[in-house]
Amino acid sequence: MAKARQLSQQDIEELVERARRGDGAAFGQLVDEYKDKIYNYVSRMLNDPYEAEDVTQEAFLRAYRSLPRFRGASSFHTWLYRIASNLAIDVVRKRKRQEPTYSLDEPMESDDGEYEREIPDDSGSPEDKSTTRETRVAVRRAIMELPEKLRDVMILYELQGETYEDIAEILNVPLGTVKSRLFNARNRLKDSLEQLVAAGELEVES
Amino acid sequence: MTCEEVRAELVECWGSTEQLTTAATEHLAVCEHCRYEARILRGTSVMLHSLPSESAPEGFTAGVLQQIARQQGQTGWAARLGQWFVPAHQPSWTRAAAVGTAIALAVAGGSMWAGRGSLPEGTQQYAGSASGTIAVSTPAATEAELDDLMRRHQALQMTQPLADDPGVNLVVYTTK
């Protein structure tokens, strides 16, 4: 789960207020506080580290530009998540329009050449690395195959540790909708990985 | 209970049999299909929650602050520090730790200036080098202080990121 840093809620509120008054240093501290959490969330939504960085950066830029309009009706972190979620969903939908057969496995192209979507895992023996990598690829694939509305809720709840209430606020949907989407997401994820287990590609501990 | 009802309970708790109702537990004892479902759900949960967290790239905060400064058309401290501490040839997303360090110190309310010889009163050594020093104090850096930093940076002939250059090292002093 993406870790939050050590600032208290009061510290956050003070920093937000200072940033709203134009204190760039305060905003910098807010970026430091939330960058890993938001990046991890966006990265899970998009499964692309470069695109995740761009979107995460844009989320903070938009937050900075929108700060004068932030009145504290929601917490800063749910507000920031909402910005990031909207941006990530935009990318997902754009991909669908541009690449109907978006590949989860093919390398991405950049100006510096191709790069793999999968972030290398340097821990463990070669056998462990291979099994771990296969597992992670399979799980990431299963997450990416979820419709974006289910993926969003699954990532926010299971990987980001957000509460049902905060997720409802982030996504601007009723609490019941959050629970329903999470239920459906879990079922679909289970179905995706069940097929792989049946094919003998993954082992599931009993 | 029907299998459908039991499986709904299993999904709610990721297949954990400890959290099931008594009726669901009794059903599992006699239903192999639902026991299999529970196993798959538990395994799915383990795999899902074993995904490692991913952190924002090095220098991310500095990059955001630079973008803000650029978009505002300013030459404030964020843009100036980024300009001087980040080699032009480096891709934006691989900025050296130096930028993050420099910006982090600046956003912590510090100002920076460089000097040779004895440390300014009220400062303490953060890291040492024979080549040059940077002192940090509060409040936030003024443009005059940054101009002085830039001149001394040139004088030190810094061409590498702060953390990487083995020869001429910018070092940072913090106030007590």
pLDDT at position B71 is: 78
**Domains delineated in chain A:** 1-103 (1.10.1740.10), 124-199 (1.10.10.10)
Number of domains in chain B: 2
Q: Is residue B92 part of a domain?
A: yes
pTM over 0.80: no
Higher pLDDT, A136 or B11: B11
Range of the domain at B130: 65-175
Q: Is residue B81 part of a domain?
A: yes
pLDDT at position B91 is: 36
pLDDT at position B115 is: 42
Q: Which of residues 69-88 of A touch B (CB under 8 A)?
A: none
Whole-angstrom Cα distance, residue A68 to residue A15?
A: 13
Whole-angstrom Cα distance, residue A39 to residue A31?
A: 11
**B138 and B96 within one domain:** yes
Maximum pairwise Cα distance, chain A: 58
Q: Which of A123-127, A182-186, B51-55, B169-173 has the lowest mean pLDDT?
A: B169-173
Q: How buried is residue A143: exposed, middle or buried, by Cβ count under 10 Å (0-12/13-18/19+)?
A: buried
- Band (pLDDT 50/70/90 cuts) for residue A112 is low
Higher pLDDT, A80 or B89: A80
Question: Which chain A residues touch B77 with a CB distance below 8 Å?
Answer: 24
Which residues of chain B fall below pLDDT 50?
A: 75-117, 122-141, 153-176
Tokens representing A114?
A: 């191709």
**B70 and B43 within one domain:** no
pLDDT at position B104 is: 40
The answer to whether the beta carbons of residues A142 and A201 sit under 8 Å apart is no
Q: Is residue B82 part of a domain?
A: yes
**B81 and B13 within one domain:** no
CA of A109: how far to CAs of A43, A50, A113, A114, A155, in Å? 17, 11, 6, 4, 26
**B98 and B159 within one domain:** yes
The average pLDDT across A23-35 equals 93
- Band (pLDDT 50/70/90 cuts) for residue A120 is very low
Q: Which of A20-34, A102-116, B13-27 has the lowest mean pLDDT?
A: A102-116
Q: Is residue B56 part of a domain?
A: no
Whole-angstrom Cα distance, residue B61 to residue B101?
A: 10
Whether ipTM tops 0.90, in short, is no
Q: Is residue B37 part of a domain?
A: yes
pLDDT at position B174 is: 33
The answer, for B12 touching chain A at a CB cutoff of 8 Å, is: yes
pLDDT at position B118 is: 54
pLDDT at position B82 is: 45
**B100 and B39 within one domain:** no
> Under an 8 A CB cutoff, do A25 and B57 touch?
no
Q: Is residue B60 part of a domain?
A: no
**B99 and B14 within one domain:** no
**B44 and B112 within one domain:** no
> Under an 8 A CB cutoff, do B107 and A29 touch?
yes
The average pLDDT across A76-90 equals 95
**B100 and B19 within one domain:** no
**B76 and B37 within one domain:** no
pLDDT at position A54 is: 95
**Residue A169 identity:** E
Q: Which of residues 129-158 of A touch B (CB under 8 A)?
A: 135-136, 138-140, 143, 158
Of B40, B63, B103, the CB nearest to A57: B63
**B73 and B31 within one domain:** no
> Under an 8 A CB cutoff, do B42 and A119 touch?
no
**B86 and B140 within one domain:** yes
Whole-angstrom Cα distance, residue A90 to residue A38?
A: 16
pLDDT at position A23 is: 87
Whole-angstrom Cα distance, residue A67 to residue A22?
A: 9
H-helix or E-strand spanning residue A167: helix A164-171
Q: Is residue B106 part of a domain?
A: yes
**B95 and B34 within one domain:** no
The average pLDDT across A70-94 equals 92
The average pLDDT across A145-161 equals 96
How do B133-137 and B172-175 pair as beta strands?
A: parallel
Count CA within 13 A, CB hemisphere, residue A45: 31
Whole-angstrom Cα distance, residue A129 to residue A140?
A: 16
The answer to whether the beta carbons of residues B11 and B19 sit under 8 Å apart is no
pLDDT at position A48 is: 93
Q: Is residue B58 part of a domain?
A: no
Of B49, B52, B69, the CB nearest to A158: B49
Query: What phi, psi does B114 have (nearest 5°)?
Result: -115, 145
pLDDT at position B148 is: 58
Tokens representing B2?
A: 């029907």
List all residues 6 or more positions away from A194 whose beta carbon is below 8 Å from its beta carbon.
B40, B44
